[in-house]
Amino acid sequence: MSDAVITEQTIVIRGRKVVGGVAEGEALVTRDRISGWGGIDPRTGTVIETRHELRGRSFAGKVLVFPGAKGSSGWSAMFHMTRLMNSAPAAFLFNEMTTKMALGAVVTHSPAMTDFERDPLECIETGDWVRVDADRGVVEITKKNKSGDGP
């Protein structure tokens, strides 16, 4: 006989607000930078860049955890389009602040944070549930449930 074991672990990290607000959702994590112009489909929020590890995955309504933006100044225009098409991320958590990244976060209107006390790429995995309170500078991560077989 097999028993499912479900455990929940919550991690709290602090960071700096870029765009205020509170949002929560499933995490979508990548160690690859994301290109806006030519790298995403703003209609669906799907990463379309050929060699990107998230190719074919949509960030719509998810907490996007990534190092930062890459590519041209069209980055913010593409993410602005995701907001207009209801396919934007629920929130942004990123490591490298650039003007491109800041403008993209602002035009998306999604809560956004950076400058963390602990690297979010080290403690958040795709599928974790993340609550971002950018106004307070707090990110609460509930680790995804893991099932296992009992004795």
Residues belonging to the active site: 72
Q: How many whole angstroms separate alpha carbon 17 and alpha carbon 92?
A: 10
Write 146-150 long-range contacts (CB < 8 A, 24+). Answer: 146/5, 146/6, 146/7, 147/4, 147/5, 147/6, 148/4, 148/5, 149/2, 149/3, 150/1, 150/2, 150/3, 150/4, 150/5
CB 137 within 8 A of CB 41: no
Q: 3-class DSSP state for residue 102?
A: helix
CA 52 to chain CA mean position, Å: 15
